[in-house]
Amino acid sequence: MKDIAQRAGVSESAVSFALNDRPGVSEVTRARVRRVAEQLGWRPSTAARALSGEGSATVGLVLARPAASLGVDSFFLQLISGIQEILSDRQLGLLFQVVEDVSAECAVYRRWWAEHRVDGVLVVDPRTDDPRPGVLDELGLPAVVIGELPDGDPRPYPALSRVRADDAGAMAAIVGRLHELGHRRIVHIAGLPSLAHTERRIRSLRAEAERYGLTEVRSLTTDYSDTQGAAVTRRVLEEDRPPTALIYDNDVMAAAGAAVTAGLGLTVPGDVSVISWEDSALCRLVRPWLTALSRDSVAFGRIAARELAALLDGGAARAVQVPLPPRKERLYQAPGHAVNGWG
């Protein structure tokens, strides 16, 4: 401040008023101070701003997932890309941390809030029994939950917005189309059983199976990794009555499953149809291309970041339904001919 004041020919208090957008100086002086500050390469100190109660200009994101599964998860890479687009426009930083479990995640929130490290957080992977909304509500830490909270949670959480997609509706559409194509034995190779969206997809699969009278439909949970995805695929395809359709909760498991299918001498989609819940370049590196739900995960991240920015600007918390309709041409693999003995 002293250097800027000397070069601009004003007092240090005038520099403070000008750089913090406070009244007390003319617009001419404000413009001159900012021009000099730019020439000297000055940037505001987020630590100093936090101590003065002006905020840290940073938001947080904590992931409580197995670290090994994150490096190949296209959904999170695309989600963070969308988040970063909006944060960059707002000149907000992103503080990112990976932890072992939800308890550790809650501890991180408490520490960040006590240290004024973040102004708000983005929360992913809602759990079936999730303590995080209550912790964030207790702290008064603005947050956006990416995904739907567990069904039946009536608490309002006034500082918490929600950005969600229709997982149940998407599963219903998949099962309906597979049934239309003649599939009667369907296995859903799901992700982590503790996640709310995993439970919602499983519940939707069961409901649709009951509606169509399908008795050989089930879900098997994994850790989202290619290793477990491949192992479960091999196990179900070597059964006496193997499934004719496999639904995977991410693209990594779907690609691994397709490789196992080929290794067993089966063809996709002639013998087994493979559907990936997430679309990515990986789905198009497999031959033939894997069927996938076409969802814009980058846009999902943008929407979540905008909602958090709105909270930080003083807006009210709200729930946003993200329209993520699958594109029909990428939704399902068409069989080579007729039912081909799949029933």
For 58-82, the pLDDT digits (tens) are: 999 999 877 666 666 778 888 999 9
The residue type at 333: Q
CA distance 153 to 131: 11
CATH superfamily of 58-165+297-312: Response regulator (3.40.50.2300)
pLDDT of residue 148: 80
Structure tokens at 78: 């695309």
pLDDT of residue 198: 93
Domain 2-43 has CATH 3.40.50.1950: no
* Average pLDDT of span 138-158: 79
Q: Check whether the bond before 269 is cis (ω within 30° of 0).
A: yes
Asked if pLDDT for residue 239 goes beyond 80, the answer is yes
Q: Check whether the bond before 193 is cis (ω within 30° of 0).
A: no
Show the DSSP H helices in 71-195 as ranges: 74-89, 102-114, 132-139, 167-180
pLDDT of residue 297: 85
pLDDT of residue 329: 36
- Helix (H) or strand (E) segment spanning residue 34: helix 27-39
* Average pLDDT of span 319-325: 73
* Average pLDDT of span 15-43: 83
Asked if pLDDT for residue 85 goes beyond 70, the answer is yes
Structure tokens at 186: 């369907």
The highest-level CATH class for domain 167-294+327-331 is: alpha beta
pLDDT band at 342 (very low <50, low <70, confident <90, very high): very low
Report which of residues 291 and 22 the model is more confident about: 291
The answer to whether the 2-43 and 167-294+327-331 domains have the same CATH topology is: no
304 Cβ contact list (under 8 Å, min separation 6): 79, 82, 83, 122, 144, 146, 163
CA distance 156 to 160: 8
Asked if pLDDT for residue 312 goes beyond 80, the answer is yes
Asked if pLDDT for residue 153 goes beyond 70, the answer is no
- Indicate the SS3 state at residue 325: coil
Report which of residues 49 and 315 the model is more confident about: 315
Each domain of the chain, given as residue ranges in start order, spans 2-43, 58-165+297-312, 167-294+327-331
Question: Which has the minimum average pLDDT: 177-181, 255-259, 270-274, 320-324?
Answer: 320-324
pLDDT of residue 16: 82
* Start-to-end C-alpha separation, the chain: 77
| Percent of the residues in the chain that have a pLDDT greater than 90, as a whole number | 50
Report which of residues 51 and 57 the model is more confident about: 57
CA distance 137 to 267: 51
* Average pLDDT of span 192-220: 94
* Average pLDDT of span 221-236: 94
Asked if pLDDT for residue 98 goes beyond 60, the answer is yes
In contact, 305 and 85? CB cutoff 8 Å: yes
* Average pLDDT of span 237-247: 96
In terms of pTM, does the model score above 0.85?
no
In contact, 183 and 230? CB cutoff 8 Å: no
